[in-house]
Chains A and B, each alone.
Chain A
Amino acid sequence: MKYLVWILIAILVVLHQDVWNWTDGRLLFGFMPLGLAYHVVLSISAALVWWLAVMYAWPLDEDSDAAAGDAAAK
């Protein structure tokens, strides 16, 4: 799962370079430029990927979290 999370983060970075939308001036709902709407969806996707990251690829284990706090409290 950890590797999947990192692959998803890499995909986000690639999708961020949406060259296919560069000069597309179409509007969604008659007011929202397509290029802007695309990046709004990308922001929401980023939040979902980061949720997966904190759930399945957290860089510390619970023990080290507690240990760090204990050490500082002494």
Chain B
Amino acid sequence: MTPLVIIFSYLSLLIVLGLVSNMRSRGTSEDYMLASHTIGPVLLLMSLFGTTMTAFALVGSTGKSYQIGIGVYGLMASSSGIVHSLCFFLIGVKIWKLGRKHGYSTQIQFFRDRLESDKIGLLLFPILVGLIIPYLLIGVLGGGATIAAVTQGDIPSWGGSLLICVVVLIYVFLGGMRGTAWANAFQTAVFMILGVVTFFVIAEGIGSKESLLENLQAATAQVVERHPEKLTRAHVPPLFFLSFMLIPLSAGTFPHLFQHWLTARSANTFKLPIVVHPIFIMIVWVPCVLLGTWATSAVGADGKLLIDPETLKSENQVLGILVAKLSGDVLTGLLTAGVLAAIMSSLDSQFLCIGTMFTEDIAVHYGGTGRFSDKQTVVMARGFIVAIVIVTFLISTVSPAGVFTMAIWCFSGFAALVPLALAALYWKRLTKAGAYASVSVAAASWIYCFWQSDFAADARYNLFGMLPVATMVAASTIALIAVSLVTKPPGEETLARFFPGAAAPRAES
């Protein structure tokens, strides 16, 4: 009962936060979608970090470490520390500048202008929304699994999923981007602090020794005894590991990160997030990876494994089971709130961004500027968000894939679009046809690989010993370059807008 009271109190607090930010709102659609570009460095750091760390970071990393051991940190965490900051540095800062200069609030608006193509939105919109849905699923499934594990089934997974969807919808609707940024900052602090507390509490529960160091040593000693290979990367083939470096590239094209970038007060606001992001990742991932690895071998007072692999339904439940078995009721409630905080701090941005994309890129663009009032725009955004959340929730009730596997597929799709984003910002010779070719090849290769992997059921599916993302990124890059070089370069006016001071490229034909 106590954990439930704490969880519901925490969820109520988020709704209050949404109400407070609603009172600070300027009432315009720009304020609702971009917080009127007022977000400073600390809030940007917290919201970018909170947005990129979802169920994948806490629930997924613990579950995957349970399966393959400590290699998970190198696969996703240290690589993200390098590559996410690279994306913020190379793409985010430039996008902020162009977004502020030309008034963009979505990726599609930028690509329409840069590529001189009104129709590119019709190709990109379904792809971006289609890739966001599995990303939403990661949060919805992770949240449901955590609540179900902690309440030992009193609240079923679907009930937990529904609960967090409703709470996030309420505070996003009330607070818009400002409320989302505030909630992200608050929730990021909550899950970082409680994540570390969880680690120490579970270490004590497993070790049962006097000092912290003795507990850590005792927990690892059990792994040395039962699964020493989990303390190495024996379960991770080198080429597979290498190709994982491409997965965090996806941060360069996440639509919700694009929207967060545009909320920054100035370009200098990015400096703090770029530097501190790798450290924040380390603070969250190291404890989770150790917990997942310990869970493979940890035994309780009765001498039985804390997590019985024979009865474990999904690796998503590993963290929830550890928390439920090794902490008191109050801590269980708090720690569950921390896990939910990580999940919801991504869901909120994703909900908001799909609403923004629908209104800006479809309704307002094709319906006509000035046709809808600010109030109507916000209502449309909310309607579309609810529709997507319902679809996501329904899929979550039948989805069999683990959080980690689903995340990899979702991130692979976004990573395959990064060559286009980079070329749009740095290569004057990129043409409209080259962009269409790149996006089409990225989509086709993703669909083919997803189908070949039995729709993500085969978690070991690879191409040439590497993750399919390597093939997708290579194919979309080749298509982009080859087609751009044989088609007509963009006009001088467009190049002057996006590359001021640079000479126009010469046409090949």
Chain A interfacial positions (CB closer than 8 Å to B): 9, 12-13, 16-19, 21-25, 27, 29-33, 35-36, 39-40, 42-44, 46-47, 50-51, 53-54, 58-60, 64-69, 71-72
Contact = CB atoms under 8 A, between A and B. Distances in A.
A35 B231 CA distance: 8
A21 B231 contact: no
A23 B232 contact: yes
A18 B82 CA distance: 15
A42 to B, nearest CB: 5
Given A46-B278, A71-B100, A59 B93 contact: yes
A44 to B, nearest CB: 7
Contacts of B266: 65-66, 69
Given A22-B238, A30-B220, A35-B231, A59 B94 contact: yes
A54 B85 CA distance: 11
A46 B82 contact: yes
Interface of B: 37, 70-71, 73-74, 77-79, 81-82, 85-86, 89-90, 93-94, 96-98, 100-101, 103, 213, 216-217, 219-220, 224, 228-229, 231-234, 238, 241-242, 245, 265-268, 270-271, 274-279, 281-282, 286, 289-290, 293
Contacts of A21: 232-233
Contacts of A29: 213, 216-217
Given A42-B78, A44-B282, A71 B101 contact: yes
A40 B282 contact: yes
A39 B267 contact: no
24 contacts: A13-B245, A16-B245, A23-B233, A25-B229, A29-B216, A30-B216, A30-B217, A31-B220, A33-B293, A36-B290, A40-B282, A43-B279, A46-B78, A46-B81, A46-B82, A46-B85, A46-B278, A54-B271, A54-B275, A59-B94, A64-B267, A69-B37, A69-B100, A72-B103
Nearest to A51: B275
Given A16-B245, A69-B100, 6 more contacts: A29-B213, A30-B216, A40-B73, A46-B278, A65-B267, A72-B101
